[in-house]
């Protein structure tokens, strides 16, 4: 059996009122309890555009299902219930209309607040709401409906969405520098060289050389020498500038695809027919 604490927990969790046909009637609006016993007697279901209307449903026979409240009446039956203002208390006349509609029998009220009917239920002459929407009315009667989840603003909801703005920022990705170092390698070159060698020549005495041959003593000892020469490679090294090297920068253009999630608000109309009328 449902008690006040059970239904208030459903209110806190934002549960829905589900009909016996399995269809959602609306979200749970307010809980009405008996003034004497504090036991829940009525609960309202928010219906109409943005939940601007509330239909009263008896708590008796209802049961919880997860975060929802399942009542033993169909969605259409609840939506056709007599319209009663959610203004803090139910008058005896209003309760009579609701009891008659839900075929629970009209209540008998007396001056005593402790009267008990034939079924043993406590007198519900002044059922009091314990949780749900703010029951204050808009002073501005030109506004249709009122907010049910926060302070009343105007007659429209603002739908917002996130926009993606992509820019660029400059950051350091690396450094480049020039460094000079010395290596050694072998270079081979072929250089032509000359050298002198001695060749012995003999010639006979002729009239042409007779004078030279008889110019010395007849018999003597003597030496004659020839100086020989040859070329050898001479290696010299010099440092010669061959090029100049510097660092420069080029700007390269690329296309980068950015993939990011953005949020959008959507607005659904509950209880509105296709032609826009309730």
CATH at residue 48: 3.90.50.10
Contact assessment for residue 132 and residue 31, using Cβ atoms and an 8 Å cutoff: yes
Q: Domain for residue 123, yes or no? A: yes
Instruction: Please name the residues in contact with 61: beta carbons below 8 A apart, sequence gap of 6 or more.
Output: 71, 72
Domain that holds residue 30: 4-131
Is the pLDDT score of 43 beyond 70? yes
Is the pLDDT score of 261 beyond 80? yes
pLDDT at 233: 93
Domain tally for the chain? 1
pLDDT digits (tens, 9 = 90+) for 199-235: 998 989 898 988 888 888 888 888 889 999 999 999 9
Per the prediction, the chain carries an average pLDDT of 78
Is the pLDDT score of 19 beyond 70? yes
Residue 85 or 61, more confident: 61
Strand 16-18 and strand 24-33: the pairing is antiparallel
Give the confidence band of 242 by pLDDT, cuts at 50, 70, 90: very high
Q: Domain for residue 242, yes or no? A: no
Is the pLDDT score of 58 beyond 70? yes
Instruction: Please name the residues in contact with 23: beta carbons below 8 A apart, sequence gap of 6 or more.
Output: 74, 75
């Amino acid at each position: 059996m449902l008690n006040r604490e059970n239904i208030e927990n459903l209110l806190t969790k934002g549960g829905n009122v589900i009909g016996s046909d399995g269809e959602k009637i609306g979200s749970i609006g307010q809980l009405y309890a008996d003034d004497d016993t504090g036991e829940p007697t009525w609960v309202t279901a928010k219906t109409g555009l943005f939940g601007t209307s509330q239909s009263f449903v008896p708590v008796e026979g209802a049961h919880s299902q997860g975060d929802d409240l399942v009542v033993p009446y169909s969605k259409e039956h609840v939506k056709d219930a007599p319209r009663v203002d959610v203004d803090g208390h139910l008058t005896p006349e209003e309760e009579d209309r609701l009891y008659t509609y839900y075929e629970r029998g009209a209540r008998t009220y007396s001056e005593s607040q402790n009267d008990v009917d034939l079924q043993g239920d406590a007198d519900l002459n002044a059922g009091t709401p314990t949780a749900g929407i703010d029951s204050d009315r808009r002073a501005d009667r030109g506004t249709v409906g009122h907010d049910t989840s926060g302070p009343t603003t105007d007659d429209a909801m603002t739908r917002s969405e996130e926009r993606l703005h992509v820019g660029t920022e400059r950051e350091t990705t690396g450094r480049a520098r020039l460094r000079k170092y010395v290596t050694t390698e072998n270079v081979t070159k072929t250089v032509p060289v000359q050298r002198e060698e001695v060749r012995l020549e003999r010639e006979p005495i002729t009239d042409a050389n007779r004078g030279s041959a008889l110019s010395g003593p007849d018999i003597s000892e003597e030496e004659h020498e020839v100086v020989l020469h040859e070329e050898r490679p001479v290696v010299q090294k010099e440092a010669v500038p061959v090029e100049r090297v510097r660092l420069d920068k080029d700007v390269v253009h690329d296309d980068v695809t950015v993939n990011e999630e953005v949020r959008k608000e959507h607005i659904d109309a509950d209880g509105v027919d296709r032609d826009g009328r309730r």
